[in-house]
Chains A and B, each alone.
Chain A
Amino acid sequence: MTKGRAVRALGLAAVFALLACAFSLHVRMRELTAGYPDEYRSYYIPSSTQAKAFSLGYHNAAADILFIWFLQFYDWYNRSVRYGYMEHTFDVMTDLDPKFQEAYMTAALFAFIPLKYDYVYKFLDKGIEKNPDNFVLPYDAGCYAFFSEKNFERAAKYFKIAQDRNPDKALVRNLYAKALLQKGDLESALDYFRELYRIYENDTTPEGNYYRAAAVRHIWSTVNAIGERDIGKAVEDYRSKHGKNPPSLSAIKKEGLLSVIPRDPAGNEFGYDPASGRITCLTPFDPKKAIGRW
């Protein structure tokens, strides 16, 4: 072997040896750091203004990268530092790209997992404010309030925004009316269900059939609820005046507590039990017969 070849072989061997050293050192270092708690890591995301400057004008691309990191980081449920940095990360992401719908919705979803509703609404409120034409964000917020928090007042507020932004969306109109119904605004709910019925009255598509049937059922129950509420109140007034329940519904009318005794959606009188003062609808619900009778 010539001297030159020997030097080359030695050099090559040294390179491989150094690579092997680096490899084994890295493996060992990884093992040593694996047991560290999450808190030791210092995550740093600059302020929104700085992030805008650092992204050199590629705000959307920077928001995308931050969003991908956000998804990977917050997808790890066992992290003890999971929520400490969430608001800031969300703010930077959505300041970089205020139209980033998925970012608002995902941040709200991550805040919803531990039921941090204040964050859910905070995140979605920012999106609603920054995107005045977007109906998905208020709809999303309304769904959290309606289905999970059961805060129907709040749900109605969000569904109203969504409906104003997209009046043609039957799903939103239906949920808005349901939220109104749940929060006790029966008359407004009835108006919306009637409107929904009118929109789909002659629509024979599967969607049309669904919303028409939903509207019919809700109109039936809402008209009943309004009747039962009004008669119930009159019964209560009668009781407080006379110390006993009225003997019949006509007694309420005679007393002047109600000018007209409400009827059920089929046009029949409500059932009344003088002993308990309970009012019930006696007509069974039949969607085919009921359509168009109110």
Chain B
Amino acid sequence: MTEKLGALSLLQVRAIMKNTFKEAIRSRIFYILMAFAVTMLGFAVVLSFLTLGSQKRVILDLGLAGISFFSVMTSIFVGIGLIYLEVEKKTIYNVLPKPMPRSNFIIGRYFGLMAVLGTNLLAMLAILSVLLAVFKGFTMAVFQAGLFIYMELAIITAIAIFFSSVASPVLSAICTVSFYIIGHTSSTFPDILVPLLRSPFQKKIATWFFHLLPDLNILNTSNLITYDIPIAEGFTLRALLYTGVFVSLLLLAACLCFRKRDLV
């Protein structure tokens, strides 16, 4: 009986995921951001001609930064509307009356968007690889960086989905972008904030807070690739777990909020 329920849940999640994929892939904002990302890759090549003796690294650095940034933008701007717009357009009423827990809807939406983002990321990494190959700077490590970008996207998308399940798109966008900025600046806490605090207790609290915030910078390995610095042993596995923990936490929160939400 439990096995049957589990299989049914999986089928439901898969169906929602498939629909989300189709919906997101047809979204105009997805193509606009992808066009921006491709333009950014082209721009990296143009900029590389202005540098001195570091053409390949400019293409690699700016290419990876551009891919990561525009993928995050895609995840935010597509993600924030995923739940809220369903409610606003009342299309969710076609799904919810079916014997399906609301959490399956959230999880299906999340994995659907992650599938779109994965496809998008692979396409952009392929373009970057071609550009690097043209300039004789191709390295397989680009795909390793891609894995870490995908982990970051997993967290950002979970944040976007969480906010989308409780707030309007504008508020969700503001909150998710804020989380993105916090996630990328929290690593400077020990350098900037902690020295400003006087009491050791405050310093301890700030340090705890720093460890609790999602640290997206730690998932950014693009800087290592430029110099062929190998990723520390055991880091990838821990990074995957770290991502998994945050994604589970945010999806759980989103499911709980959405379960209690009055949609009538």
A interface with B by C-beta (< 8 Å):
49-50, 52-53, 56-61, 63-65, 67-68, 71-72, 97, 99-100, 102, 106
Contact = CB atoms under 8 A, between A and B. Distances in A.
B204 to A, nearest CB: 21
B223 A68 contact: no
B57 A64 contact: yes
Given A49-B192, A57-B187, A72-B50, A64 B58 contact: yes
B150 to A, nearest CB: 15
B185 interface: yes
Interface of chain A, helix or strand or loop or mixed?
helix
B64 A61 contact: yes
Nearest to A48: B191
A60 B52 CA distance: 15
Contact of B62 (A56, A61, A99, A100): A61
B54 A49 contact: no
Contacts of B52: 67, 71, 102, 106
Interface in B178-215: 180-181, 184-185, 187-188, 191-192
28 contacts: A49-B188, A49-B191, A49-B192, A50-B192, A52-B188, A53-B188, A56-B180, A56-B184, A56-B217, A57-B223, A58-B61, A58-B69, A58-B220, A58-B222, A60-B223, A61-B64, A64-B58, A64-B62, A67-B51, A68-B51, A71-B51, A72-B50, A97-B226, A99-B226, A102-B51, A102-B52, A102-B53, A106-B52
B64 A57 contact: no
Nearest to B226: A60
The 5 A-B pairs with the shortest beta carbon distances in the complex, nearest first, are A61-B65, A56-B184, A58-B65, A57-B217, A57-B220
Nearest to B50: A68
Contacts of A50: 192
B158 interface: no
Interface of B: 47, 50-54, 57-58, 61-62, 64-65, 68-69, 180-181, 184-185, 187-188, 191-192, 216-217, 220, 222-223, 226-227
Residue among A53, A59, A67 with max Cβ neighbours from chain B (10 Å): A53
A57 B216 contact: yes
Given A53-B192, A58-B222, A99-B227, A71 B61 contact: no
A67 B54 contact: yes
Contact of A57 (B58, B184, B226): B184
B177 to A, nearest CB: 11
A64 B54 contact: yes
A14 B4 CA distance: 67
A137 to B, nearest CB: 13
Contacts of B227: 99
A118 B226 CA distance: 30
B84 to A, nearest CB: 26
Contacts of A53: 185, 188, 192
A98 to B, nearest CB: 10
A72 B50 CA distance: 8
Contact of B61 (A52, A56, A60, A72): A60
B239 to A, nearest CB: 14
Contacts of B69: 58
Contacts of B51: 64, 67-68, 71, 102
Contact of A97 (B181, B217, B223): B223
A275 B217 CA distance: 79
